[in-house]
Amino acid sequence: MSNQKPRLPKGMRDFGPDKMAKRRFIFHAIRTTFEKFGFEALETPTMENLSVLTGKYGEEGDQLLFKVLNSGDYLSGTSVEDYTSGARSLSSKIAEKGLKYDLTVPFARYVVMNRHDLTLPFKRYQIQPVWRADRPQKGRYREFYQCDADVIGTDSLICEAEIILMMNEVFAKLGIRDYNIKINNRKILTGIAGMIGEPDKISELCVAIDKLDKIGPEKVLEELITKSFSDQAITALKPFLKVEGDNDRTLNNIKALLASSGPGQEGIREFEDILSYLAQFEAGDNHLEFDPRLARGLAYYTGTILEVKVNNVDIGSVSAGGRYDDLTGVFGMPGISGVGFSFGVDRIYDVMETLGLFPEDTSITTTVLVTNFDKASEPYAIEVLGQLRNAEVKSEIYPEPARLKKQMNYAHKKNIPYVLLIGEEEVSSNMMTLKDMRNGEQKKMTTPEIIEALKNG
363-392 residues in contact with a copy of itself (CB under 8 A) are: 365-366, 369, 378-379, 382-383, 385-386, 389, 392
Q: In angstroms, rounded to a whole number, what is the distance separating the alpha carbons of residues 189 and 275? A: 19
400 forms part of the interface with a copy of itself (CB under 8 A):
yes
437 forms part of the interface with a copy of itself (CB under 8 A):
no
CB atoms within 10 A of CB 5: 5
- Using CB under 8 A, which of the segments 91-99, 187-195, 198-206, 309-317 binds a copy of itself? 91-99
Q: Is residue 366 helix, strand or coil?
A: coil
CB distance 431 to 445 below 8 Å: yes
Phi, psi values for residue 228, rounded to 5° = 65, 30
CB atoms within 10 A of CB 13: 14
Shortest Cβ 74–a copy of itself spacing (Å): 5
Interface positions, 319-338, toward a copy of itself (CB under 8 A): 330-332
87 forms part of the interface with a copy of itself (CB under 8 A):
yes
Interface positions, 116-175, toward a copy of itself (CB under 8 A): 119, 121, 123-124, 129, 131, 133, 143, 151, 154-156, 158-159, 165
- CB of 237 or CB of 288, closer to a copy of itself: 288
**Given 27, 93, 112, 199, the residue binding a copy of itself (CB under 8 A):** 112
Among 21, 42, 213, 232, CA closest to 118: 42
311 forms part of the interface with a copy of itself (CB under 8 A):
no
Interface positions, 31-50, toward a copy of itself (CB under 8 A): 35-49
453 forms part of the interface with a copy of itself (CB under 8 A):
no
- CB of 22 or CB of 293, closer to a copy of itself: 22
Q: In angstroms, rounded to a whole number, what is the distance separating the alpha carbons of residues 91 and 163? A: 40
- Site size toward a copy of itself (CB under 8 A) is 112
**Given 55, 77, 197, 297, the residue binding a copy of itself (CB under 8 A):** 55
456 forms part of the interface with a copy of itself (CB under 8 A):
no
Shortest Cβ 324–a copy of itself spacing (Å): 16
- CB of 76 or CB of 311, closer to a copy of itself: 76
- CB of 63 or CB of 232, closer to a copy of itself: 63
Shortest Cβ 156–a copy of itself spacing (Å): 4
- CB of 36 or CB of 444, closer to a copy of itself: 36
74 forms part of the interface with a copy of itself (CB under 8 A):
yes
Q: In angstroms, rounded to a whole number, what is the distance separating the alpha carbons of residues 182 and 189? A: 15
SS (H, E, C) 97-153: EEECCCCHHHHHHHHHHCCCCCCCCEEEEEEEEEECCCCCECCECCEEEEEEEEEEC
The 190-209 site mask, x for binding a copy of itself (CB under 8 A), equals: --------------------
Pairing of strands 179-185, 143-152: unpaired
14 forms part of the interface with a copy of itself (CB under 8 A):
yes
90 forms part of the interface with a copy of itself (CB under 8 A):
yes
DSSP state for residue 441 in the 8-state scheme? -
Q: In angstroms, rounded to a whole number, what is the distance separating the alpha carbons of residues 74 and 95? A: 8
Q: Cα torsion at 173, 179, 182, 183 (round to 10°)?
A: 30
Q: Is residue 313 helix, strand or coil?
A: coil
DSSP state for residue 434 in the 8-state scheme? E
256 forms part of the interface with a copy of itself (CB under 8 A):
no
Q: In angstroms, rounded to a whole number, what is the distance separating the alpha carbons of residues 188 and 108? A: 27
